[in-house]
Structure 1
Amino acid sequence: MSVYALAKTVVEQGVEQAREAGYGEQDLARALMNEVIAIYKRERSLADIAHELQFLAENLDEDQDYAFMRP
């Protein structure tokens, strides 16, 4: 199992557990993002984390090429 498949499974289980506890997907997503950033902070600089988050934010549209790609 790839790490991406593992992450998807963990999130799917988390969504179900959150629903059972009365929380919505957006609540869980926000909490998970906080936890991911806490993990990043263990080994990465704040600038590196900010750069990655900025890259992801700039490339949210799955139908467009990444900003660094040439046509």
Structure 2
Amino acid sequence: MTAFSLAKEVMQQALAQGQQQGFDEQAIARALLAEVITVYKRSRSQADIRHELEFLADNLDDDADYTFMRP
């Protein structure tokens, strides 16, 4: 199992459990993101976290190449 497949499995479990308890999918995702940031803050600078989040935001389109890739 990879870290990505484990994270996907954890997300699906959290979404299912959240729905059973009446939470909106977006609320669960936001709460999990806040927890990810908490873990990042243990060993990463604010600038590094900001860079990571900006990179992800800049590359939201699954059909586009990453901004650092050349055609």
Q: TM-score scaled to structure 1, two decimals?
A: 0.97
Letter in 2 for 1:53: L
Partner of 2:41: 41
CA distance in 2, matches of 1:26, 1:70: 34
Count of residue pairs brought into register by the alignment: 71
Structure 1: runs of 5 or more not aligned: none
User: Identity, % of aligned pairs?
Assistant: 58
Q: How far does residue 52 in structure 1 lie from its aligned partner after superposition?
A: 0.5
Give the alignment's Cα RMSD to 1 decimal.
0.5
Structure 2: runs of 5 or more not aligned: none
Q: How far does residue 45 in structure 1 lie from its aligned partner after superposition?
A: 0.2
CA distance in 2, matches of 1:2, 1:54: 24
Q: TM-score scaled to structure 2, two decimals?
A: 0.97
Q: How far does residue 3 in structure 1 lie from its aligned partner after superposition?
A: 1.1
Instruction: Please show how residues 2-21 of structure 1 align to structure 2 within 5 Å.
Output: 2-21=2-21
Determine helix, strand or coil for the equivalent of 1:43: coil
CA distance in 2, matches of 1:66, 1:44: 23
